């Protein structure tokens, strides 16, 4: 049973839409990080779908590099969020804007 590539692309578009909606509407830094990760996974699904459709391994290689960058982003981002939470007891982005010089 083969699933058409269009279904994967529709799923990726829905995931990307949910991630971008969450990124634009939520004010918690942790939820914003989760939404960015959701968007990156939607892009990865698109890369793998086109890689499978075109029988090319380039899309899967791109997914590997996107996952490495996403892991580094989460590590650094969560370290910053934990550090700010220890000082301010909040992860609200509205309160973090006060940190501007």
**Contact call for residues 44 and 71 (beta carbons, < 8 A):** no
**Contact call for residues 15 and 38 (beta carbons, < 8 A):** yes
**Contact call for residues 36 and 49 (beta carbons, < 8 A):** no
Residues 19-75: tens digit of each pLDDT? 999 999 988 888 888 999 999 999 999 999 999 999 999 989 999 999 999 899 889
Q: What are phi and psi of 8, to 5 degrees?
A: -65, -40
What is the topology classification, in CATH, of domain 5-91?
Helix Hairpins (1.10.287)
Q: Could you tell me the CA-to-CA distances from 68 to 14, 17, 55, 63, 71 in Å, in that order?
A: 23, 23, 23, 9, 5
Domain ranges of the chain: 5-91
| pTM score above 0.75 | yes
| Residue 92 bridge partners (DSSP) | 28
């Amino acid at each position: 049973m083969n699933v058409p590539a269009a279904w994967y692309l529709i799923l990726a578009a829905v995931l990307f839409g949910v991630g971008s909606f969450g990124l634009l509407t939520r004010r918690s830094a942790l939820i914003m990080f989760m939404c960015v990760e959701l968007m990156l996974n939607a892009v990865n699904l698109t890369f793998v779908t086109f890689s499978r459709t075109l029988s090319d391994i380039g899309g899967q290689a791109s997914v590997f590099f996107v996952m490495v960058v996403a892991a580094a982003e989460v590590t650094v981002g969560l370290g910053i969020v934990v550090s700010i939470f220890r000082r301010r007891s909040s992860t609200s982005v509205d309160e973090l804007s006060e940190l501007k010089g």
